[in-house]
Structure 1
């Protein structure tokens, strides 16, 4: 077992499973610590399940920042088309200056991409991270709690799968996610 997950605010694996939408009967036992369930997933070589679990365990900002790093690190060569690059640029801008204008710009950038690529999923995670998802002049509509994490996990999954070695890329992503769970956003400092 590694260091304590000080960035994770939840205390039980059942809480994470609830955010993931896991059926009540299929959730971990009451009292199962968050890290213990994650370690069991990793020990069972269930990388995709560990990714989804960790993405939902992290606070939204940390999950999105993790996804942004993985997407940027796996952007590939040649450079992506302009709309896809724009979505990544908008995501980075929001991380540097979180605010509603940048969050909405991320939503617009996501909508401009017709297929579910990592950059679109990342921009969608930002749009659904908090604040109203209704048009600006309409009555506020708040996103469900789990949506931003689900998009962030999808962005990481897509980015690692397009790598030359998807298994190694996912392993690298999980190690970074573990460091973020332990140290928060400071783990992203290069």
Structure 2
């Protein structure tokens, strides 16, 4: 089985804003970004899953217009709760510091921890049916990083330095006899400007 993990394109939000499950739109370069992603996907994808959030849904529908897309809440980004769409500087800095020091376990007020995200992403990944040989999953950085942490047995605290994933990245996961191997097919850092 081959599983293609695809991160959504650049969302329309400033870098100084905290976001997770906010239903953001994408920037004007969407079609150019999607064209780059498409070059790294095989023709014969059998099943497509996506986060229901707009930035993923729009990409999944654009890349796979002939498919029925299966939307799954387990593929949503981390729930940022009370911090959603707040400027990072406007968040209580003491609480933010506690979270930054142990983001894997500390629960965002009104939201979830990275471990919660990891557990739901892992449950989704383990539920994939082996009858499909090529699967595409359009999701978010946190979800893809969680899946890679699971298959590579990487501690969540190390996942950001182990898996640097830019918008629009494509990661191929091969599954053979319950053994996993991943290859980053496309992961270009965007030019700021």
Same fold per superposition (TM over 0.5): no
Whose RCO is larger (CA < 8 A, sep 6+)?
2
Q: Which has the higher helix share?
A: 1
Higher strand share: 2
How does the TM-score come out when normalised to structure 1?
A: 0.30
